[in-house]
DNA sequence: TCTGGGGTCCTAGGACCC
DNA sequence: TCTGGGGTCCTAGGACCC
């Protein structure tokens, strides 16, 4: 059996752990630039007109009228809380697949069938006790079924956040309770196609001819169809897959046309992704830089372009990667536009220790590596980004994301620790 | 004024090779 | 009349996920 453990409105819950005064009050978390809503607790959801991914400016009034508490996203806090949740899950099983920041598949095959029902409740309670985060638990034979079980666990109040599919009757019952459009793996487009056959529930979908499913929804649809019957097609993958690419692309807090500022943002993103690259002990063979205006604007002149540069030798050095990225940026920058976003992606990742060098590159690598190491060391000691490549500059305020409502990074920064009583 | 960001997987089609 | 067939690699686009 496989359990799918999913945190309830995770980002909002993280904020509430450190703000017990907000218990029972509506809370939402905003995306980068405080642009739109990416998480809402159940109190906020129950207020009408707070759909997810709504731009904040469109519903500002509703938020104010209902005294909804808004937080800017604080990923440092959320990733740390996520790790605490995952560590608790590992107390139950050695095989845990971290599917996303707020959910995991947990292999329960080591437990007897009769124990699973009470075990599921135990998981829910212990995560809450250890971390303060409420979770839902769905258990079934396959990943797809446990995902549906989890949904049903939360949707139906009498389940109290836990649903275990341990019989054929319960499997059928579950499938009949879930609508086609709510099935994991059926998105908007496929839902329309499936519904056009007259199917309404997941059960109806599971009764469609497999050949039709295969033709309309590719092999992914077929796997899903089989998993709903109880046949395993997606194995649990306990280790994080090493990433195929690392990238970042963020909107500026303001529209920019000054090349120097865009350059700063670009260089800063390079150092961000290069850090991640070194953490996973890889080097990148290709780097892509792209630049875009605001595609939502009806009045701004539109421009977007990208360029990919292949490095002679894969590299993980911030200095080398910055140099190449800025060459790329120079190629696509055109004056006269109001730019909204710049992005950097690293591809063709190879293990750091398998890189082949020409003699010339080798000399350069040794030099860059020593310098990069020294910088990493200083930053570890004195704080992130204290030492950086000169291009990054210090005008971050003029381009960086707007984060008006960020909460303190309670668990990862000494100077932002939660204090109790007067200091 | 203000509209997220980071991913995965699959398929089809083109270029190229023998 | 009839114009190979299989393989690889790459890219773009679609669909979905959190």
Task: Please report the pLDDT score of residue A390 as a whole number.
Answer: 66
Mean pLDDT of A328-332: 90
Helix or strand run (H / E) with residue A310: strand A304-315
- Same domain, residue pair A25 and A139: no
> A47 is in which domain, residue-wise?
5-77
> Is the CB of residue A124 inside 7 Å of nucleic acid strand B?
no
Distance from residue A244's CA to nucleotide B8's C1', rounded to whole Å: 10
Nucleotide nearest to A147 (CA to C1'): C17
A183 touches strand C (CB under 7 A): yes
Domain annotation covers residue A119: yes
Task: Spell out which residues of A between 306 and 325 contact strand C, using CB within 7 Å.
Answer: 308
Report the nucleotide nearest the CA of residue A348, measured to C1'.
Answer: C10
| Contact positions of strand B to protein Cβ (< 7 A) | 1-11
Q: Are residues A342 and A206 in the same domain?
A: no
Q: Determine the Cα–Cα distance for residues A88 and A369; give it in Å rounded to an integer.
A: 37
Q: Which of A42, A35, A46, A54 is closest to A7 using CA atoms?
A: A42
Nearest nucleotide, CA A101 to C1': C18
- Compute φ and ψ for A410, nearest 5 degrees: -50, -35
Q: What is the CATH number of the domain that holds A275?
A: 3.30.1490.100
Domain count, chain A: 3
- Mean pLDDT value across residues A309-323: 88
- Distance CA A223 to C1' B9 in A: 12
Share of chain A above pLDDT 70, in %: 89
Confidence at A35, pLDDT banded by 50, 70, 90:
confident
Instruction: List the nucleotides on chain C closer than 7 A to a protein CB.
Output: 11, 14-18
pLDDT at A423 over 70: no
> Whole-number mean pLDDT of chain A?
87
What residues have CB less than 8 Å from A138, skipping those under 6 apart? A3, A4, A6, A146, A147, A148, A149, A150, A151, A152, A153, A162, A163, A164, A165
Residue A62 lies in a domain: yes
What three-state secondary structure class fits A146? Answer: helix
Task: Grade residue A121 by pLDDT with cuts at 50, 70 and 90.
Answer: very high
Does residue A363 register a pLDDT over 80? no
């Amino acid at each position: 059996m496989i359990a799918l453990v999913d945190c309830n409105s995770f980002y909002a819950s993280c904020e509430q752990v450190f703000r017990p005064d907000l218990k029972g009050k509506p809370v939402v978390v905003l995306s980068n630039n405080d642009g739109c809503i990416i998480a809402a607790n159940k109190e906020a959801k129950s207020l009408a007109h707070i759909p997810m991914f709504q731009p904040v400016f469109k519903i500002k009034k509703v938020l104010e009228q209902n005294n909804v508490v808004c937080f800017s996203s604080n990923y440092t806090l959320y990733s740390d809380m996520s790790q605490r949740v995952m560590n608790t899950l590992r107390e139950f099983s050695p095989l845990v697949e971290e599917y996303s920041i707020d959910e995991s598949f947990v292999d329960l095959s080591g437990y007897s069938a009769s124990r699973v029902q009470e075990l599921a409740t135990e998981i829910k309670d212990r995560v809450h006790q250890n971390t303060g985060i409420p979770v839902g638990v769905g258990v079934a034979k396959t990943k797809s079924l446990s995902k549906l079980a989890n949904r049903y666990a939360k949707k139906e109040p009498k389940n109290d956040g836990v649903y275990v599919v341990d019989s054929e009757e319960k499997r059928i019952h579950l499938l009949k309770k879930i609508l086609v459009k709510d099935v994991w793996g059926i998105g908007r487009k496929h839902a329309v196609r499936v519904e056009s056959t007259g199917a309404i529930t997941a059960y109806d979908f599971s009764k469609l001819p497999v050949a039709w499913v295969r033709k309309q929804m590719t092999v992914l649809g077929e796997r899903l169809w089989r998993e709903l019957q109880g046949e395993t097609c997606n194995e649990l993958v306990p280790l994080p897959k090493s990433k195929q690419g690392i990238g970042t692309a963020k909107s500026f807090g303001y529209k920019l046309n000054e090349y120097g500022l865009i350059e700063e943002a670009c260089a800063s993103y390079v150092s961000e992704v290069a850090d991640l690259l070194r953490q996973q002990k890889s080097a990148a063979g290709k780097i892509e830089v792209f630049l875009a205006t605001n595609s939502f604007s009806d009045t701004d002149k539109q421009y977007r372009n990208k360029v990919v540069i292949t490095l002679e030798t894969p590299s993980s050095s911030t200095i080398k990667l910055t140099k190449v990225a800025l060459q790329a940026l120079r190629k696509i920058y055109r004056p006269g536009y109001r730019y909204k976003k710049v992005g950097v992606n690293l591809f063709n990742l190879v293990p750091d220790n398998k890189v082949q060098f020409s003699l010339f590159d080798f000399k350069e690598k040794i030099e860059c590596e020593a310098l990069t190491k020294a910088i990493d060391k200083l930053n570890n000691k004195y704080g992130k980004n204290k030492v950086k490549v000169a291009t990054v500059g210090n005008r971050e305020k003029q381009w960086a994301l707007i984060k008006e409502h960020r909460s303190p990074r309670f668990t990862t920064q000494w100077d932002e620790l939660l204090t109790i009583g007067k200091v």
